[in-house]
Structure 1
Amino acid sequence: MKPITQYTLTLNGENETDKTRTEYKKIPLKSYEDMLSFDKNRILITAESGYGKSTLLKKIAYDWAVLQRDTHVTQQKRESPLSKYELVFLLEINQMKAKFNITDEIYSQILPHNDFGKKSVENYMTQNPEKVLILLDGADEIPFERLQMANEDFSVNNVLSFKSLKRCKVIVTSRQSTALKLLTCNPDFTRVNIVGFDEKNKKEYIRNYFSNFDPQYHDYVLSEISKSETLRSLGEIPLFLWLMCSSLTQAGSRLPDRITELLSDAVNIIHKQKMSKYCTSKPSEKLTEKAFNELVAKLGQVALESLMKKSHAQNSFTVSEFDSEDLVSLGCEVGLLTRVQFMHGIEEVEQVHFYHMIFMQFCCSVYLSGMAESNPDKFNDHMSKLLDGDVERIEYLLRFCSGRTKKAAEFVIHLIKKRLSVSNNISPVGLQRYICLHRIIMLSLFEAKLGSAVKPLAMDEWVRFPYDLKGEDLLAAHLFHSKPTNTI
């Protein structure tokens, strides 16, 4: 089945009446196959967390492998744009060594025991570029400055900026903030924005998810997801639609109207499903609710330590970074963690990942919100350091903290307000940060249901709306009874 996430292609072109401005035309795409059919050899896929950037690249690699397995020339094989590629490499940027060398990483991440030498692969890619597809996942998961510093042949930086492998098709994924930086290296990227599910897609996803249920239940699930602007907005994001469906597997289930409550419910349901499947019937061998919450907080402490490392915060850990092997095993058992084994060079490496970055930030919020009650000074210190870094990547952490306790919400709102008052919104990067802080403080107020905090804020200078209001943003803006404007 084709992925039903929708894509929008953005092609840039000069405005004929003003050569200093850039215009964009948007073309809706039916599937990734449309994307592969374009002439340009550098494609930048942008979307925020949960929209399926990594899943899309895995889908492309999987479909190519299926085509290769079929030795017969079928109609599907003839029509697929993947059929022209003899080699497809899917590489995770956050797993790369300091040189970010693509051929080195092909051997580290994919071909550790292959008889072909590195030079043979380089020669093939150079001599047959039209037969090679390179998929680079997660440019936003490492500091952009580290990518720029690696400038040898076949480095990610040189490949993305058209200094190496110019005629190979290369696709890279990133969140918006890093995408803006990538465009400074190569403004001629073909940009593909994943825009998520429309109403038709939601219905199709729900039918597939609840295929064993009565069709009337499909209508009930859709009505639950459509009952508020928040849920309708979240339902556009594939990860959150999956979480909502997971929360509605029991007849009579209802959805909450805040994202923090949704994650809490979904995590508990996943935990119960996993435990009922893998654990014995002995009560002593099952986690109590208290023990489960303690487990989430312990995992959150590890997550916080990673997020505090501004230079390389990412969703990959060694077992030794956790308190014990038992903590990792239990985290995997309840569905919050996964183990990944792969070859790095000649060594077998085991890593531990949170199921998704959003789960990682949820666990972190459980740990931090408890700290806001027990040790406010320490909470403020941690939160200040996080807010001085890449705020966009911790949006959900801030919202979850705000939704969990009133005290955490008040701290978060106060700290963001201080930064908004001194924010430089003149430069493009400064404006992007200003908008991000602005959205998060609005959504934190909404998440915490702190209507009482709005009145003293309503006259502040920052309470203006320098971005289009829709979905949750629009709902949060309604907390302020003044008429929003779209100018700074």
Structure 2
Amino acid sequence: MADIDDKMEKFSELKADLSKYYKGEKYTWLQILLLEHLPVADITNKDFIAHNLFNKLEERGDIAPSKVHLLLDISKVNSELKKAENLIIQYIKNNEQSTDDYRQLSQYRTTLFKALREVDSEGFSAVIANYQLEHLKFDNIWKAVLHLEVKQLLVNKPDKIKKFARCFEPRAKDILLEIGVEFEGKSNKHKLDQSSSDCEDHPPQEKASQSQETRIKEYLKKKQQELYKDFNKLETAVLEDLDIEELFTDLKLVQSSKKENKEKAAKQNRSQHDQKEKIPKTLGETLKMIKDKNARKIIFTGKGGMGKTTLLRYITYNWATGKDKTFSDKIVFLVNIRDLQAGKKILDAIIINIDYLETFTIFMGTKNDEESVQLIKSFIINHGDEIILLLDGLDELNQGAGNPLVLFTNSDYKNTTIITSRPENTAKFIDKCDVHVEVNGFSETSIKNYINRYFANNNDLAERLFRKLFYNRHRQEHSVSELCSSPLLLLMICKVWEESGNLPDDLSDLFKELICCTLNQYLSKGNSDENKSKIASIERMPTNFKTAILALGQWIYEGLKTNKLIIDKYEFRNMFEDKSIVDLALKIGFVYKNPPLSKSDKNEMFAPPHKIPRW
């Protein structure tokens, strides 16, 4: 009985905490999202707040202490509700529930919400004018749409959606054209697509003559950009989430092109100064060189922890957001090579990461998802010059998986391929590539710039750290300054310096300090009820932390034998009887949550934040 009371109390606390996130405009979001779950009288009750709506959902049995997936689904519709989402996920984990099956909102509801996020002020004004709502004085699109839905002026029927879609620019309109099919069927989708063509920038005749290939390209490009537009964030366990722009890595160009490689002897006669001037130092300059020379086979090599994965994510993010125009007219696919299973090829990995097959099938009017897969594969193969493949981690290729080398050796492949790898076993790729770029991590100048940004409010602390790192480095075989070329190690070194104002000269002592610093960051977030005081030394580390670190070390040790450093939470938990130790090991800051390459991938994967350079 006490256990039941405890669960009810925690559930009540969850509802109360969530209510804080749904105020003002966000409360209207909640009203719209719950229109299919609660009576209109409850939705429009002026005396209600979010907590009242949650109570009504509980009364109807839609949510309960062991049933909160509807709340999770609602929180996932907008990144602004990330804190609410994290709160629910933590509640689910604490109650040993699964986060897999959370889809409780209809396709119509989520897609309508997605379209409304794209509506600008002109679209809002058009809705007010077309539906003659001027007298109601709505101050945003959400309140106007709530009114339209309550009055049944906007429902999931083609004629209603068509009228609504006429108010908007193409981006919001295209999203709207994806709905109206969940209950109405594909034929109505095509009727809607045709009947709304008069609202578009192109006349109906041009729309009708648009080639299938163009429609496929536009749809794939739009969906891939939506997937990658948030790829600038690196989710950490105990630190603030990092922006990859802050972990930008300088590059050293080793070989610019085949032609220039053949002229190497002639170049050796030039001065050292002239050669340095021709070596790109930034990613932007390197990408420009790749585009100018129409290079199609590019390999980035570098030691572990130098930022190769971050680089690919940065390229992907800049393409998705339009911040870089190098590949603006292409479609980008990012693939983790470690995900290639035995017998599978790169194309298979691309398809696995596509989580919008259902809407693609509707958009193209294919019979089923299988036909859609063949259509996408055919497009990628036949339109290689419009495809950019970013392949991360050649050194993590599984035995029996398709070797990406064929993309470098077979002239039939016209796509641009950028592949990353540690330097080992890359000779064949380097021999066949058009461009080879060595990723060296942070340069000395970059390290200083990063330190200055980190200690922006304390110039003296920044200057003393820089002197500490570089004053006596030539007297030591392996100095602390060498570690700073790894962006994430530099971040941790800054944390240690900020806490203590001191760095050990001995690398083993430094790593002990880094471990204590990481654990103290975890404790400072209020993550432990048992351990309140700071950990002064590694010898005084609490037993539960030691056990968790040893468990993590055991996984990494076994992974090194099979070249598998990524941690699958499900497999990791199965290694130990005490699941709480595993959960703690993944929380305390020594591994980072690996973001999935598709929204449908619910596996929880973690990776070490740094891989120590090999001297």
Q: TM-score band, normalised by the shorter chain?
A: 0.5 to 0.7
Match for 1:290 among 542, 550, 573?
542
C-alpha separation in 2, matches of 1:57 and 1:31? 14
Closer/same/farther in 2, CA of residues 219 and 339 from structure 1, 3 Å limit = closer
Sequence identity (%): 22
Distance 1:294 1:319 in 2: 19
Question: SS where residue 564 of structure 2 aligns?
Answer: coil
Distance, in Å, in 2 between the alignment partners of 1:266 and 1:47 is 23
What is the alpha-carbon distance in structure 1 between the residues aligned to residue 410 and residue 595 of structure 2? 33
1:308 aligns with one of 547, 558, 561: 561
1:307 and 1:261 map into 2 onto residues whose CA distance is: 24
Q: Name the residue aligned to 1:82.
A: 327
Tell me if structure 1 keeps the 8 A contact 2:405–2:429.
no
Deviations 1:175-220 (Å, cap 9, x if unpaired)? Answer: 111222433xx52341001123233211211122223x32122111
Equivalent residue for 1:170, pick from 403, 407, 417: 417
What's the counterpart of residue 388 of structure 1?
A: none
> Aligned partner of 2:415: which letter?
C
Answer 1 or 2: which has greater strand percent.
1
Report the counterpart of residue 279 of structure 1 in structure 2. Answer: 527
For residues 118 and 158 of structure 1, the distance between their equivalents in structure 2, rounded to whole angstroms, comes to 22
Structure 1 segment 466-481 matched on structure 2, within 5 A: none
1:76-225 equivalent positions in 2, closer than 5 A: 80-85=325-330, 87-111=331-355, 113-114=357-358, 115=360, 117-142=372-397, 146=400, 150=402, 156-165=404-413, 167-183=414-430, 186-211=431-456, 213-225=457-469
State the TM-score, normalized to the length of structure 2: 0.49
Please tell me the residue identity of whatever aligns with 2:482: S
Structure 2: distance between partners of 1:240 and 1:285: 25
Task: Determine which of 47, 59, 71 is the counterpart of 2:302.
Answer: 47
Preserved contact between residue 249 and residue 439 of structure 2 (Cα < 8 Å):
yes
Question: Structure 1: which 5+ residue stretches go unaligned?
Answer: 19-23, 68-75, 359-394, 397-438, 440-488
Residue type of the alignment partner of 2:568 = F
> Larger deviation: 337-346 or 290-299?
337-346
Give the letter aligned to residue 29 of structure 1.
Answer: P
Give 1:318 deviation, angstroms.
4.1
Deviations 1:99-153 (A, max 9, x none): 342221112234364535222223332343333211000001136x645xx3xxx
Q: CA RMSD in A?
A: 3.2
Code of the residue aligned with 1:317 in structure 2: it is: D
Counterpart contact for 2:548–2:582, Cα < 8 Å: no
Shift of 1:233: 2.6
CA contact (8 A) 2:496 2:503 kept: yes
Does structure 1 retain, via aligned residues, the 8 Å contact 2:394–2:421? Answer: yes
- With over 3 angstroms needed to count, the CA separation of the structure-2 counterparts of 1:356 and 1:199, relative to structure 1, is closer
1:240 and 1:349, CA in 2 relative to 1: closer, same or farther beyond 3 A? closer
The question of whether the paired residues in 1 share the 8 Å contact of 2:299 and 2:419 is answered with yes
Structure 2, unmatched stretches of 5+, are: 1-244, 267-271, 362-371, 474-478
Equivalent residue number for residue 518 of structure 2: 270
Mapped pair 1:28 → 2:28: no
Question: Match of 1:256?
Answer: 504
State the alpha-carbon separation in 2 of the partners of residues 182 and 32 from structure 1. 21
Q: Distance in 1 between matches of 2:419 and 2:433?
A: 13
1:241 maps to 490
Residue 103 of structure 1 contacts residue 121 of structure 1 at CA under 8 Å; is this kept in 2?
Answer: no
**Structure 2 CA distance for aligned equivalents of residues 286 and 16 of structure 1:** 57
Count of paired positions = 331
SS in 2 for 1:248: helix
Q: Distance in 2 between matches of 1:334 and 1:345?
A: 25
Change (3 A) 1:32 1:84: farther
Q: Could you say what secondary structure the match of 2:586 adopts? A: helix
* Alignment partners' CA distance in 2, 1:163 and 1:126: 13
293-302 vs 104-113, which moves further:
104-113
Per-residue Cα deviation, 1:403-451 (whole angstroms, up to 9, x for no partner) = xxxxxxxxxxxxxxxxxxxxxxxxxxxxxxxxxxxx5xxxxxxxxxxxx
Aligned 8 A contact 2:523 2:531 in 1: no
Which SS does the other structure have where 1:28 is aligned?
coil
Q: 1:31 to 1:82 in 2, by over 3 A?
A: farther
The alpha-carbon deviation at position 336 of structure 1 amounts to 1.6
Runs of 4+ off more than 6 Å: 284-288, 343-347
Cα distance in 1 for partners of 2:471, 2:588 equals 30
Instruction: Report the Cα offset of residue 81 of structure 1.
Output: 1.2
Alignment check: 8 A CA contact 2:465 2:497 kept: yes
